[in-house]
Amino acid sequence: MSENSFTETSTQSWFSRLGGAFKGIIVGIILFVIAFPVLFLNEGRAVRTYKTLKEGAGQVISLDSGTVDPAYNGKLVHLTGEAITNDILSDVQFGISVNAIKLKRNVQMFQWQEKKKSTTKKKVGGGTKKVTRYDYTTIWSGKVIKSSSFKNVSGHENPQNMIYSSNVQTAKDVTLGGFDLSKSLVGKIGGHENYALDGSAEIPEGVSGKVKIHDGGFYVGADPLSPSVGDLKITFQIVTPQGISLISQQAGSTFEPFLSKTGKNLELLKVGTFSAASMFAAAKSSNTMITWLLRVGGFGLMFLGIVMVLSPLSVLADVLPFLGNLVGAATALVAFLIAAILSLLIIAVSWIVFRPLLGVGLIICSRCIGLPAKGNLETKKTFCIIPINNYNSDVT
């Protein structure tokens, strides 16, 4: 086995595993409890966001970005146009100056990384044999990888810091027609492009002898074609003046977030030319996606928590590995059903708080999952599905 790869074998007794499983119950309970506020608060967030977007879509006014009309002061407005700036952004350390909305310096260091892969086999009597393989490879990374945590540090040491760091500069004065863009809106402008240095670029005196120009950027090290651990690549990106579309509240000749009746701020910006309707549609789709991701996350926390609480049962049965596997599968199924029922109930309770009719529908569905079917099966399926289909797709 090479010095950049090795395996380690360890064993664990049945009593040790059982003790670990009982300790894991505490962690499982914590995960189980955390799942409740995650699921409940997510539904409240989803409804507030939906109501905010609905309120905004009903009030927004599309304006000409070329002129500022005081009559729309305090109103939610939609504008499209070219975001421009006369600011010159400079990276003094590397002698870069460019007219741009943003100037970003990216620094990457050539470093060791550790990859670990383990396989565990159960033994008769409840013990386990674990084989772990450690592989060490080099990569370019924008963050310092702490080699002190490696299993085998010798020969795989990384520098503890980078002599140069990544940073972003942003123009202070960015305009859209007759309007000045607020700091929060400028921060939302994306569309980074690579800013490549040509071969005739001069190396600043402050870093002369330390860096060389390579592949459109700077290189710190002996040979860019054969990098060594600790070498750096320094590249640049810019956001140039470009067309944008925004929805925000007019505040004189600038903008500020629109405060909805739900107490949430509303401020949208997209690079390109988009109608107000399409921007709200995209925001609603994003809200739906985030809602489902958090629902899955909350369910996952609850499922994992229940599995950990029940894990001593499968460990006890692992005296005979095949029996432990059966018990493990059974406890996982039980955990799935309990997590599914409770997740639906929590979501239903939150909907009762925010949207009563939909909450009742979810409670009915959770009972359909938890109770055996009575009567005709097709009747039960239809009864469970109808309330879900009545949900507003913009929220769920």
pLDDT string in tens for the chain (396-residue length):
467 999 999 999 999 999 999 999 999 999 999 999 999 999 999 999 999 999 999 999 999 877 899 999 999 999 999 999 999 999 988 989 999 999 999 999 999 999 999 999 999 999 999 999 999 999 999 999 999 999 999 999 999 999 999 999 999 999 999 999 999 999 999 999 999 987 667 777 767 677 889 999 999 999 999 999 999 999 999 999 999 999 999 999 999 999 999 999 999 999 999 999 999 999 999 999 999 999 999 999 999 999 999 999 999 999 998 998 999 999 999 999 999 999 998 988 888 877 666 656 656 665 665 555 444 444 444 334 334 434 454 556
Beta-bridge partner residues of 245:
80, 270
* Torsion over CA: 78, 84, 85, 89 (sign): positive
The confidence score (pLDDT) of residue 64 equals 86
CB 246 within 8 A of CB 86: no
- List Cβ neighbours of 216 (8 Å cut-off, separation of 6 or more): 194, 196, 197, 235
pLDDT at 359: 58
Query: Measured between alpha carbons, how far is 161 from 237 in angstroms, rounded to an integer?
Result: 23
Q: Which region holds residue 126: left if phi is over 0, alpha if psi is between -120 and 50, else beta?
A: left
Distance CA 77, CA 294 (A): 31
Cα separation, 231 vs 241, whole angstroms: 33
For the beta carbon of residue 393, count every other beta carbon within 10 angstroms: 9
Residue type present at position 350: S
Question: 76-85 and 61-62: which strand pairing?
Answer: parallel
pLDDT at 377: 42
Do residues 248 and 59 lie in contact, with contact meaning Cβ atoms separated by under 8 Å?
A: no
The pLDDT of residue 66 is 78
Structure tokens at 78: 């939609």
Q: For residues 174 and 255, what is the distance between their CA atoms, to the nearest angstrom?
A: 12
Annotate 137-159 with b (16+ C-beta within 10 A) or e (fewer). ebeeeeeebebeebeeeeebebb
**pLDDT value of residue 360:** 64
Q: Are 250 and 72 in contact (CB under 8 A)?
A: yes
Which residue shows structure tokens 């008769």? 124
Query: CA–CA separation, 60 vs 78, rounded Å?
Result: 6
Q: Is 111 in contact with 209 (CB distance < 8 Å)?
A: no
Q: Are strands 5-12 and 61-62 parallel, antiparallel or unpaired?
A: unpaired
CA end-to-end distance (rounded Å), the chain: 53
With a CB cutoff of 8 Å and minimum separation 6, the contacts of 37 are: none
